[in-house]
Structure 1
């Protein structure tokens, strides 16, 4: 159980640290330049490196080990963030240098996130806890990290300024390193040496050839494409209503709903069928988002949508972890995660263009319809996801008695 607590604690610290940085950097740029557009551009500068490093970093996870890569990524992320206040107090910071360091930090964040997710089956097996529960707890900790980060950032920015606030992120990254190092068991399996780019291609090819993994990846891609613009549309809605506090309230309630929903799902996950929970979660999210312009309390709707959305990521994570051979786990998680990360900027660009010529009400309906579309696709593509073979806590077939086909991703249970 200590390993589970340590890994999830490291996840929460790392997520909160990144969220604080995402607030402090635009604030810093606005202070120095007074340009909101430039602040937004620098915030977006992390998205490309994050998607690329998540995709290409998966092979490094399988080659170097999940625990080791997680520790290395957090150390390098901490150093990239620490460089900002150090340079600011010595050589001085300009916008180009900030952009480079932000992109560099994102370059390390992607493999770190994928490595921590790849570690979940290991710590779940070690603690004899169902994998659904560990993934749900992980989702709750990520949600909690994102929930508390704005408040922490606001306090430290008010007390010490944006540049000094970045030291809080550095401390969180090193806290994540310490937790992982002290509590997570060392990797017991190491990949055989292989050509790096061949390894990357092998992971993506495996995702595309395995129907459930392909379906999970494309479902996540569709969902993120339509949900990623939510904050932009909500901001436009708050401005049109002359109520800037609405943005913070709705996003807070969405986070609270997500945390509560993830904790609740973790408690009952092993008793529920996955497909109905996933599909209906997507449908409810879509309907809830479409109702935002209908005059119903946005805060209540946001909490409701957060609860409905909470099981989606844990279920997707379990499907990936169960159906992936251990030697490919990092590459497969990296490939699927990169699909979702690529979809975010696409969705933001499309909905941003839509807002230029129409109202926020239409944008909310389009986003909600996209979630329903993802539900329809998931209902078709993820028909065969109820089997719980291969989960930690079940009895595993030893390696020498496993399925003889090396392409078979799921071990069978003993009779």
Structure 2
């Protein structure tokens, strides 16, 4: 009798409580804190040593550029080596690359071209690392779409929490020890992440040959599958719109609130806090709501709140509005990531995920560039009204998908695994 009870408990145990999943999330949080620290420290280092804002901006561009350019070819490497190995190797390579910046500088051997080379290599590693992370997350959870959606939400909770913690730690360290020591801390965070992931069990799979045909097949699958195509289009829309909102926050603080830096800080903190709260809510509700319907709810909620942002209002309510809009977005991104990982056949997943990631990474820098021009010539309220209109179109796309979630295309049924609904254990994930 005891044995049967134990077996039943084992069957019902949520994969989100497993030590494997906790290691993956812990590794993401630790490495993301380090990355966010460097996001502040490296520009500060370039600006203080060169005095050139243009050089500082070039560092950002060089680091981001390899991700969309190499994302799809990197999927071939993930398919060949497996998500676990690519993620661990990526952490170790990033450890060396990040540590090389202060090492070369202290040795007097860091001209600007060498710094750009290091930064470009970090971007090359990220092109395969990002999709491998998501695949590794799914390998530790399984194929239940509710659990995968909740797992992606918790994963994003770790990332968004790191965005709050990392810059604060970096500011403290830069003031006390200088930006170079922050880079040492980032290098150490990657090493800790690699150590945590090394203990994960191997996911046995047959290595695939490095073939461009599989890469093209992944693109065709994404375009052919109605659910993935719609979710990817909506995510691309939000990936274009939300950077405009983020860039609008300091503009709002300057134009509406007497250039008060405390208001700017409040608005940025509201962005991070709302996102973190949203990921927690999604993790709790993911098993109860189908992903397409969950994404529709999130899209509608975000659109409604974003229509409030163009209007003049006190700083406190503006911050709450920003937080509420960001709170709804994880209800879109977490289901999108779960469907992206579960709908394609397993052999195509390494080739579908990079297509989605490359599109979003292309959209963000373009959005930042366009937003800067818009804010030069238009009132911030006008730009934010256009953002709300775009978010409304995205919400309508998601609503239509939730009403008609069939998975057929004009060419016939798409081979996608049927959704599997598991009974959640008592107490939730």
TM-score by length of 2: 0.86
The DSSP-based 3-state class of the residue aligned with 1:338 is: helix
* CA deviation vs aligned residue, 1:55-101 (integer Å, no higher than 9, x gap): 32112111111100111111112222111101101133233322222
Q: Does 2:249 correspond to 1:228?
A: no
* Maintained 8 Å contact 1:274/1:386: no
Q: Label 1:112 to 1:383 Cα distance change in 2 as closer, same or farther (>3 A).
A: farther
Quote the offset at 1:383 in angstroms: 4.6
* Maintained 8 Å contact 1:204/1:331: yes
Alignment match of 1:365 (pick from 359, 382, 385): 385
Equivalent residue for 1:188?
204
* Maintained 8 Å contact 2:295/2:333: no
Partners of 2:145 and 2:385 in 1: CA distance: 43
* Maintained 8 Å contact 1:253/1:302: yes
Q: How many residues align?
A: 395
Partners of 2:145 and 2:392 in 1: CA distance: 36
Quote the offset at 1:381 in angstroms: 4.6
Equivalent residue for 2:93?
76
* Maintained 8 Å contact 1:212/1:382: no
Equivalent residue for 2:13?
none
Alignment match of 2:341 (pick from 299, 302, 321): 321
Partners of 2:220 and 2:241 in 1: CA distance: 26
Q: Does 2:167 correspond to 1:147?
A: no
Quote the offset at 1:268 in angstroms: 1.8
Equivalent residue for 1:2?
19
Alignment match of 1:160 (pick from 177, 191, 194): 177
Equivalent residue for 1:199?
214
Deviates more, 1:138-147 or 1:35-44: 35-44
The DSSP-based 3-state class of the residue aligned with 1:24 is: helix
The DSSP-based 3-state class of the residue aligned with 1:188 is: coil
Deviates more, 1:59-68 or 1:258-267: 258-267
Partners of 1:129 and 1:380 in 2: CA distance: 21
Q: Does 2:426 correspond to 1:410?
A: no
* CA deviation vs aligned residue, 1:340-386 (integer Å, no higher than 9, x gap): 11111222222222112111121222222221121122223565559
Partners of 2:413 and 2:79 in 1: CA distance: 17
Equivalent residue for 2:139?
122
Equivalent residue for 1:376?
396
* Maintained 8 Å contact 2:33/2:162: yes
The DSSP-based 3-state class of the residue aligned with 1:55 is: helix
Q: Label 1:147 to 1:107 Cα distance change in 2 as closer, same or farther (>3 A).
A: same
Q: Label 1:96 to 1:326 Cα distance change in 2 as closer, same or farther (>3 A).
A: same
Quote the offset at 1:317 in angstroms: 0.9
The DSSP-based 3-state class of the residue aligned with 1:159 is: helix
* Maintained 8 Å contact 1:4/1:127: no
Equivalent residue for 2:78?
61
Equivalent residue for 1:352?
372
The DSSP-based 3-state class of the residue aligned with 2:287 is: helix
Equivalent residue for 2:296?
279
The DSSP-based 3-state class of the residue aligned with 1:242 is: coil
Partners of 1:185 and 1:201 in 2: CA distance: 30
Q: Label 1:202 to 1:36 Cα distance change in 2 as closer, same or farther (>3 A).
A: same
* CA deviation vs aligned residue, 1:258-317 (integer Å, no higher than 9, x gap): 112211221121112433431232233233334234214222112212221122211101
Partners of 1:71 and 1:159 in 2: CA distance: 32
* Maintained 8 Å contact 1:65/1:190: no
Q: Label 1:366 to 1:97 Cα distance change in 2 as closer, same or farther (>3 A).
A: farther
Quote the offset at 1:114 in angstroms: 1.0
Partners of 1:122 and 1:358 in 2: CA distance: 47
Q: Label 1:410 to 1:384 Cα distance change in 2 as closer, same or farther (>3 A).
A: farther
* Maintained 8 Å contact 2:224/2:414: no
Partners of 2:205 and 2:146 in 1: CA distance: 21
Equivalent residue for 1:254?
271
The DSSP-based 3-state class of the residue aligned with 2:386 is: helix
* Maintained 8 Å contact 1:319/1:385: no
* Maintained 8 Å contact 1:74/1:109: no
CA RMSD of aligned residues (A): 2.4
Query: Structure 2: which 5+ runs fail to align?
Result: 1-17, 422-429
